[in-house]
Structure 1
Amino acid sequence: MAPKAFHRFRKLPIELRLRIWNLTMEPRVIKAKWENEVTDNDICQFYVLTAGPAPKALHACKESRDEAKRRYCFVKSQLPFTDRMKYHHKAWAQKSIWINFDIDALYFVNIPASNDFLSYMRRLSKKRTGGGNRNIKYIGFHASILDRLIIPRPGSPSRLSFFYRLVLDQPSLEKIIIMLDNSKFDDDKHPENYSLSRPNFLKNDRGGGRWGSKQVRQQMTLVFNKFFTNPIEEGQDVESFKNFKDNNPDWVLPAFIQLSITKKPKHDYAGDGLPLIQIPAKRAVPKPKPGKVFPSQLQTVATKAQASKAK
């Protein structure tokens, strides 16, 4: 039996109603996947952002939508890295999704060269270009990506220095998430089924899979634990970061954190998508109606008759 509608909701104080609408805005993991498109003149590089269905508060009623639009930004879901080509004739260039940067996290499952990535982030954060409005707070990278960046290249500067440029371009960043990801999130077409959580390992500190093992976690902790508070890298990017930090003493430095991503438990019954309240504890077996004989019963009667004749 479905729950009855609460018809007196409109009689609640406006402050309480708005509080309830805000509670319906749940954190989501926004998949950001880098793709290429070859044209006659150039190669277009862009990120595709997917998050599943729009948040419920955006289409429940006018009051919930007005409140949700105060929290959510309408962000380009397929944004090229540069604007040197005219992409307005592309149908996909007009697509957008709603993102609440106060609670949603951008998960970059792959990244191009650092300069291209920084260019994309700058375009995404601009209100008129990407819609981000310079308030991006949570971004994440797969542990395998960071593992490749940690390995030094002979004769080249550290590839980790691009993080200093990233936070200078995006001073609103609060958390950079190291995804200890062994899931199929990258290829799954339903990112809304996934959620973030703190790693839960055994007392002996074992487990976690390939990209969440003890060795990976220790390496990430060693490299990124005091990355911004005590920089050991060198170069112009680091010096610019230090100068900005000294000139802005109230700036809250972003932090690296390690999180796992897993599929949320789905309350689905036999693939019918029924809500939990409609799921029976045990599938009921239909009982025959009185006076009606089933073929199985006829076979049973015939078997008993043959057995009696044999005796």
Structure 2
Amino acid sequence: MRWRTSLEAAVLFGVLGLSGKAYATENGQQTYPIGIDTVLNAIVPAPGTTQFYDYSTFYTASRFVGQNGGSAIPGFKVNVFAMAPRVLHTWGDTLGPVTFTSGFALPIVHAGTTLPFGSANRWGFGDLTIHSLNIGYSNPDKTFFGLLALDFVLPIGSYSASRLVNTGSNTYAFIPALKVTAVPFPRSEFSATLGYEINSPNHADGYHSGNLVVLDWVAGYSVLPKLQLGVQGYVLQQVTNDTQNGAPVDGNGFRGRAYAIGPQIRLNFTRDSGIVFKWQHEFDVRNRPKGDRAWIEFTFPLNL
């Protein structure tokens, strides 16, 4: 198993497709920031307006789970803190109920890991997520919202194949996603994001991380006009093999899998600003780190 290059940031968060980056295929890496998109997933700024978002997360894991559910790396530990500022602008031109939104997200990451042969940590920028085009729709009574997101990740973060820890992945990614938010009755919210991540090879080491399907979801209820309580989580399933120099890794493609669930609290300050606190506990993990994520997310409008 290639520990040194593939665990460089075993669960780095780039953001969140941003929705931005947390890792999961190259021995526990992925580009989509799994677990980030659990707040009004399909709702974007109003036409002609700009919105600022910030996603901060802390991930900790003391176990790297192998193919059969057992610990695969003795003494493994990883801690990652990431803060990902994000800006979205919805263009003024619309096609009836259809809107067009673009933006970007750039994470700042601190990652530290301990492995049998040593430990290391590093600060730096992660890879840049470009929200090239988000095509949105809402029905007339604003009880259903849909969004097609076409996101690209560019490898601008620091990377060296000789390091134990990197803040960039040295790979490109394309992440199309479908997002929905439904309000079937007053004070309720059901949101989900279904994405598909396609990765380029890492030409520094010949490793090609497999494609994966991700699902973020939330079910929330507003117990007060500005206070929502909810349950949220995510699913990650790798659907194609990891390969190195064209051959499946470990003979079986080293396909990752993870589930997570946890509570969420959302507090709205105004119609367009608020803050979210959430926690996610992972279970039924394969071929990746198994741990816990804590998040603080907030947003407010920008008057540009």
TM-score band w.r.t. shorter chain = under 0.3
TM-score, normalization: structure 2?
0.26
TM-score normalised according to structure 1 size = 0.26
Asked which structure has the greater CA Rg, the reply is 1
Higher strand share: 2
